[in-house]
Structure 1
Amino acid sequence: MRVLDLSGPIYNGMWSYGAPLPYVRVEPIASLEKVGWSGHLLQLHTLAGTYLETADHLFPGRETIAEVSIDRFIKKAWVAQLTDKEKWEEITADELNRAVGADFKSGDALLIATGWDQFWGHEDFVQGCPFFLPEVMEWIVEKDVGLLGLDIPSVQDPRMDDNELNRLFFAKDRLLLAPLVGLRNVGKGPGTLIALPLPISGVCGTPCRAVYLDEVITK
């Protein structure tokens, strides 16, 4: 069985979604030479690196990340291998429908590969990313995807200030995992996704470590 890491690296000054979110800081604050042990300052936020997010992001009062049952972080997963996307390229429901097999079941995880993860760290990674047409999110909701994973940092056109597609997705307390790396190495599935967020109380999401097993170990 192969175990594949789908988590992007977190490092000092990495890409950001912009204000009001701060830039990530990873800085040494203790050293072996001075105090006899090593330690670092970590300045993170809920959307740092590869993160897992709940509906509380847009719907106050919904379950926070520490309240989610641990079994919901372990899912049978399918991968939609789309063609490599260009800057600001639209993703359509037709290509997603052709990429996802008929065996997909309600509540399963769907991981969408566009090849955009190759630009992790590039200046256009966030502001130039491909995006969903509204019909794509409607398709995802109709299929009752339990956990949606993406190798793009946003489902919406980054040139628009609009959260409507995310609202449609989160309305029924689904989980969002993004942005992922290495989905091209996974194949089409099915396999098992394990995405474990930090259990920080009272927040809608946290950075997480996401791995893919190329065997199904869930029911």
Structure 2
Amino acid sequence: MIVELSHRITDGMITYPGVPGPVLGTHLSREDSREVYAPGTEFEIGTITMAANTGTYLDTPHHRYADGPDLSQVPVSRLADLPGLRVPASGGREVVLDTTLDVRGRAVLIHTGWDRHFGTGAYLRDHPYLAAESAEWLAEQGAALVGIDSLNIDDTPPHGERPAHTILLRAGIPLVEHLTGLSALPSEGFRFHAAPPMIAGMGTFPVRAYAVVP
């Protein structure tokens, strides 16, 4: 079974406060293509203008560190076919992980349920986030990737620090934010995939995140 874990990208959607929504357009319409191709043959070539942090997206170390690996430099083995672990969040906004979990080499997906607010004003404020000490523990334990179904893996006060980004990306651990549908996953035993295009010089980009469940 394949489980979809990504939000759809639609024209004008807002993913994060202050980040403009994508603009979808047309480079070649089906009507105009009839002048180019043989009778009965037509195509459409679309365009999209968007910020890299749109929809469900991956952060590479280059997002936080100028000399960190970018989208073209992170090995696909760190982004696809990873053994997954779904970790339900409990308590308040700050998510503190159980340190008895086996996270080494796994994609650790933090399930907060905040994705139920996606597309509404409620999604953009007072969201769950990962505690700094849990980010440190994940880095120490050698997690392969960390994801969350919330606005940000960090708390997002104006001009604030971003300890989870700082710690995990410094350790070379990619992040996936704005996941959805984690409730459909078992706690473990699935494989996680979230590979972006190989774009040189960029640190973030949308992904089609999904899980394969036996």
TM-score class normalised by the smaller sequence: 0.7 to 0.9
**Counterpart in 2 of 1:126?**
124
Structure 1 residue matching 2:16: 3-state secondary structure: coil
Alignment of 1:42-61 (within 5 A): 42-61=48-67
Paired residues of 1:127 and 1:159 also in contact (CA < 8 A): no
**Counterpart in 1 of 2:170?**
171
| Residue 64 (structure 1) aligned with residue 70 (structure 2) | yes
- The one-letter code sitting in structure 1 at the alignment partner of 2:47 is L
The separation in 1 between residues aligned to 2:67 and 2:25, in whole angstroms, is: 34
When normalised by structure 1's length, the TM-score is: 0.84
| Residue 183 (structure 1) aligned with residue 182 (structure 2) | yes
The separation in 2 between residues aligned to 1:25 and 1:213, in whole angstroms, is: 31
**Counterpart in 2 of 1:39?**
45
Give unpaired runs (5+ residues) of structure 2: 35-42
The separation in 2 between residues aligned to 1:201 and 1:184, in whole angstroms, is: 34
Structure 2 residue matching 1:197: 3-state secondary structure: coil
In the TM superposition, residue 16 of structure 1 has moved relative to its aligned partner by: 3.4
- The one-letter code sitting in structure 2 at the alignment partner of 1:152 is S
Alignment of 1:1-219 (within 5 A): 2-19=1-18, 21-36=19-34, 37-74=43-80, 75-83=82-90, 89-93=92-96, 96-97=97-98, 102=101, 104-160=102-158, 161-215=160-214
Structure 1 residue matching 2:135: 3-state secondary structure: helix
- The one-letter code sitting in structure 1 at the alignment partner of 2:54 is A
**Superimposed CA distance per residue, residues 156-206 of structure 1 (whole angstroms, 9 cap, x where no aligned partner):** 222342223310111111110111110000121121011120111211121
Paired residues of 1:50 and 1:208 also in contact (CA < 8 A): yes
**Superimposed CA distance per residue, residues 49-76 of structure 1 (whole angstroms, 9 cap, x where no aligned partner):** 1111111111111111111212111211
Number of residue pairs matched? 204
The separation in 2 between residues aligned to 1:105 and 1:18, in whole angstroms, is: 31
Of all paired residues, the percent bearing the same amino acid is 23
In the TM superposition, residue 41 of structure 1 has moved relative to its aligned partner by: 2.1
Highest Rg: 1 or 2? 2
Q: 1:131 to 1:4 in 2, by over 3 A?
A: same
